Structure 1
Amino acid sequence: MAFSIAVVGTGYWGRNHLRTLSALNTEGLLDRLIVCDVDEARAREMAEEFGCDWHTDALALKERFNINAATIATPTPQHAPLAIALMQQGVDVLVEKPLAMNEVEAEEIVAAAAANERLLMVGHLFRHHASIREACEMIARGELGPILHIESDRLSVRAPRPDIGVIAALGIHDMDICCDLLGDTTPVSVTATALPSDEDGIEDHAVIHLRFPKGTGGNPRGVPCVLTVSWRSRIQGKVRDLRIIGRDASLHIDYLDHGGFWVHRHPGNAHGQQWGGFDAAPRDRVELPLGEPSLTAELRRFIHASKGFTDEPLLTSGAVGVAGVRLVEAALASAASGSSVAFSQQAD
């Protein structure tokens, strides 16, 4: 059976979807690729660049091309109406993150997927990063010992987005990954400080603190996480760095490196004097020869699931998308109020 997929929205990330799906097309994973944008000139331009069909009306794609699936990479306010309408037409959808503008819309999308028996994936693509999958397994096996804390930096230099700030655009990734690393546990509290950009109501730099329940990650005190996200990284430029500190070993992951990551060994929470002064603990490289870009892995999994090739649980289900939206709302509320926001109902 022929498999047709459409990309709705041709901004920066929509173009990445097109580029990746075009490459998967050469593998024979799909039979027809369609690009859709309300700007006809832009749709034509992308269609010519990637050798695919084009259209300007997302809600006419099913009738015109009999699409099986679609990825939605439009501005966030359009996610809910487009996703719901397409699923009502019998189309499987992958919606870029954040899933929706708020928790209510996100829940409506999940309900529409259930009511119409359609596949719903959400674009939390770093769950598909090979290093994150390996890190999750190492933590689950206890190789790091109890997790003491997690820290990350997701920095770049760019103009603020007009629809969402840096917490919803970048912070959502790192908050979600912390939940993933700790066995899909949610934090008990979220605290954030944000700096405003020139766009009214839009932040372009934030520091987010998550506090996970006691016992999480084998830590009787719970795991604290400190996440910095910024569009004003004028000194370092683009940084995608994650550090997971365990009692016996720690991981240093650079998301821009798809070939592997570093493990620093320090059994029993050994300190620097035990290996020579103030240097970092001795490290070993974990090679991941089969690692591929996260977006490629994510879209490949979406197509396989839509075709029915796999019945494995989705890494980025609708429930994950709803949790991501809730985390963003909590961080924004904390930044606005200057106080911590209670998140999980789990005992602490």
Structure 2
Amino acid sequence: MSITVGLVGCGRWGRNHHATLSGLKASGHLDRLVLCDIDPAVLAAHAADAHYTSLEAMLANETLSAVAIVTPPQTHLSLAELVMAHDLPMFIEKPLGLNPESEQHFLTNLPHTSTLVVGYLLRHHAGMKRILSAVAARDLEVETLLYRRRTVRSKPEDADPVTTLAVHGLDTAQLMTGTPLTSMDVQSMKVTATSADIRLQHNGITVIVDVAWEADEEERLLDVNGPLNRAVLDFGTGIMTWGGSGVADGPTTEHHPSQPLKEEWLYFLQSIASGQPHVFPDAASLLDLSAWLADHGPAQHDPR
């Protein structure tokens, strides 16, 4: 079966998707890569089998196996509605949308034959999977979860620290604790134009999400602490340290090198190949995160 992927959006993050898909094409995982962006100059800078300045034209002229929407969050659902009319598998960057009612409408009207993957790429990180398996096996109990992503990069234009950076930490908290974000109490939330510090609590579990652009150094950290054990993952290097009184021989180190964006795309392509309808993360998780963002996201704070 010939695989043609349409990538919509070639901005800062879209460029990373383009590089990943170009590599997957070179290794035989897809046959054609076609691009769509409203800026012809941006399109001209990216090699592809075809270029389009409108999604409608791409849908009309290509026999697509799937479409990826990597555009600003406020455009996700309107573009996805166009793709949904063609009943094509969709990859949509996170967050799915910024309005829970619109997301609910979209997910309710999604055909039962659909495949939808939303881009929470850390769910595909090997180290993250290792910690999650330990939590599921009750080898690690979550009392405190710290997610830290601080970067020296400048803040992208029109980006918001909550919906762009913190959203990965919020998704991780939801995943690791098994608790809806909307059930957690917000202990504090400090947001500036370039940073966010969010502290949540629920039934003895504390969640800290600390993110920033224009930081002094790069930090990519997930620290899950329990009464006996502790796992600390650098999700940039893949180095993970296990410690705590439950580790009989003292702290141990594991290495979980990962290319989560590539792994995310392989997961999506495998989902398409299986032919089984699939929504990932599940609709309840997507709607919970959307509802939390509606209550605490950009419209609810005034970053200074």
For 2:32, give the aligned amino acid: R
Shift in Å, 1:208: 0.6
Whether 2:237 is the aligned partner of 1:238: answer no
Partner Cα separation in structure 2 for residue 29 and residue 155 of structure 1: 33
Shift in Å, 1:230: 1.1
Partner Cα separation in structure 1 for residue 196 and residue 18 of structure 2: 31
Residue 5 and residue 319 in structure 1: after superposition, are their counterparts in 2 closer, same or farther (change >3 A)?
Answer: farther
Give secondary structure in 2 for the equivalent of 1:179. Answer: helix
Report the counterpart of residue 152 of structure 1 in structure 2. 147
Measured against aligned partners, the alpha-carbon deviations of 1:203-251 in whole angstroms (never above 9, x if no partner) come to x211111223x3xxxxxxx311111111131x2x221111100111100
Report the counterpart of residue 180 of structure 1 in structure 2. 175
Measured against aligned partners, the alpha-carbon deviations of 1:183-219 in whole angstroms (never above 9, x if no partner) come to 364442234423433xxxxxx211111223x3xxxxx
For residues 14-53 of structure 1, what are the structure 2 equivalents within 5 Å? 14-47=14-47, 51-53=48-50
Residue 66 and residue 24 in structure 1: after superposition, are their counterparts in 2 closer, same or farther (change >3 A)?
Answer: same
Report the counterpart of residue 141 of structure 1 in structure 2. 137
Measured against aligned partners, the alpha-carbon deviations of 1:72-127 in whole angstroms (never above 9, x if no partner) come to 11111110100111111122111101111221222233123236x32111111111
Quick one: which of 227, 231, 244 aligns to 1:265? 244
Quick one: which of 236, 250, 254 aligns to 2:234? 254
Q: Which runs of 4+ in 1 moved over 6 A?
A: none
Whether 2:92 is the aligned partner of 1:126: answer no
Residue 40 and residue 313 in structure 1: after superposition, are their counterparts in 2 closer, same or farther (change >3 A)?
Answer: closer
Residue 315 and residue 261 in structure 1: after superposition, are their counterparts in 2 closer, same or farther (change >3 A)?
Answer: farther
Residue 334 and residue 106 in structure 1: after superposition, are their counterparts in 2 closer, same or farther (change >3 A)?
Answer: closer
CA RMSD of aligned residues (A): 2.5
Check whether the contact 1:7–1:73 (CA below 8 A) recurs between aligned residues: yes
Residue 5 and residue 182 in structure 1: after superposition, are their counterparts in 2 closer, same or farther (change >3 A)?
Answer: same
Partner Cα separation in structure 2 for residue 312 and residue 93 of structure 1: 11
Shift in Å, 1:63: 1.9
Partner Cα separation in structure 1 for residue 280 and residue 10 of structure 2: 25
Report the counterpart of residue 285 of structure 2 in structure 1. 320
Residue segments in structure 1 that go unaligned for 5+ positions in a row: 198-203, 215-221, 271-280, 338-348
Give secondary structure in 2 for the equivalent of 1:194. Answer: strand
Check whether the contact 1:150–1:225 (CA below 8 A) recurs between aligned residues: yes
Give secondary structure in 2 for the equivalent of 1:46. Answer: coil
Report the counterpart of residue 77 of structure 2 in structure 1. 80
Shift in Å, 1:7: 0.8
For 2:246, give the aligned amino acid: P
Residue 141 and residue 195 in structure 1: after superposition, are their counterparts in 2 closer, same or farther (change >3 A)?
Answer: closer
Residue 157 and residue 241 in structure 1: after superposition, are their counterparts in 2 closer, same or farther (change >3 A)?
Answer: same
Check whether the contact 1:122–1:320 (CA below 8 A) recurs between aligned residues: no
Residue segments in structure 2 that go unaligned for 5+ positions in a row: none
Report the counterpart of residue 255 of structure 2 in structure 1. 287
Shift in Å, 1:45: 1.5
Shift in Å, 1:263: 0.5
Report the counterpart of residue 343 of structure 1 in structure 2. none
Shift in Å, 1:175: 0.8
Structure 1 or 2, whichever has the larger Rg, is 1
Partner Cα separation in structure 2 for residue 334 and residue 142 of structure 1: 38
Residue 25 and residue 320 in structure 1: after superposition, are their counterparts in 2 closer, same or farther (change >3 A)?
Answer: farther
For residues 151-230 of structure 1, what are the structure 2 equivalents within 5 Å? 151-183=146-178, 185-186=180-181, 187-197=183-193, 204-212=194-202, 214=203, 222-230=204-212
Identity score, percent: 24
Quick one: which of 61, 77, 96 aligns to 1:99? 96
Give secondary structure in 1 for the equivalent of 2:237. Answer: coil
Residue 336 and residue 57 in structure 1: after superposition, are their counterparts in 2 closer, same or farther (change >3 A)?
Answer: closer
Partner Cα separation in structure 2 for residue 255 and residue 68 of structure 1: 31
Check whether the contact 1:10–1:37 (CA below 8 A) recurs between aligned residues: yes
TM-score, normalised by the number of residues in structure 2: 0.90
Count of residue pairs the alignment pairs up: 301
Residue 118 and residue 313 in structure 1: after superposition, are their counterparts in 2 closer, same or farther (change >3 A)?
Answer: closer
Partner Cα separation in structure 2 for residue 9 and residue 263 of structure 1: 40
For 1:143, give the aligned amino acid: D
Partner Cα separation in structure 2 for residue 184 and residue 52 of structure 1: 44
